[in-house]
Amino acid sequence: MNWTDVPSDKFSAWLDVFRSSQEGINLKAKCPVCGSATLHRYFSSPHTPPADGTLGRCGRWEWCSSCRSFAHYSAAMPVWWHCDITVDEAILTPEPEALEQALIIASHNVAEPDGAVNDLPA
Ligand SMILES: [Zn+2]
């Protein structure tokens, strides 16, 4: 299934959802297009960090893992942005496929049992 642009009649609701959230890569809100709680966002590192101490322009992705609607913009990186997953930014494209794959890998890592670490004697 290919990535598709957010339908124009849903775009304003889509923007509202993302604008009202300062969550990280995973949003709790439901997708305005399909109703699934599988919305994600990502800001890439600025290509050239500005020398003036600001955060600079970066790539901004918003997507839904279920219906594969997505939006991609150039944006200012917000100060609240944080990201728990590792993304190879060299392979990023306007479509969020590489980001989706990074999320899948991260979720597999989280699902691994960590009992071995917890069971170590104190
Ligand atoms: Zn969706």
pLDDT digits (tens, 9 = 90+) for 75-94: 888 889 988 888 888 899 99
Burial 87-121, CB ≥16 within 10 A → b, else e: beeeebeebbbbbbebbeebeeeeeeeeeeeeeee
Q: How much distance in Å is there from the Cα of 10 to the middle of ligand 1?
A: 11
DSSP state of 95: S
Write down the pTM of the prediction: 0.81
- Whether residue 122 lies inside any domain: the answer is no
- Ligand 1 centroid vs 37 CA: distance in angstroms? 8
Interval between CA 110 and ligand 1 midpoint (Å): 23
How far is the C-alpha of 27 from the C-alpha of 99, rounded, in Å? 15
CA 42 to ligand 1 centroid distance, Å: 16
Where residue 116 falls among pLDDT bands split at 50, 70, 90?
Answer: very low
Query: Could you give the number of structural domains in the chain?
Result: 1
User: Which domain range does residue 13 map to?
Assistant: 4-109
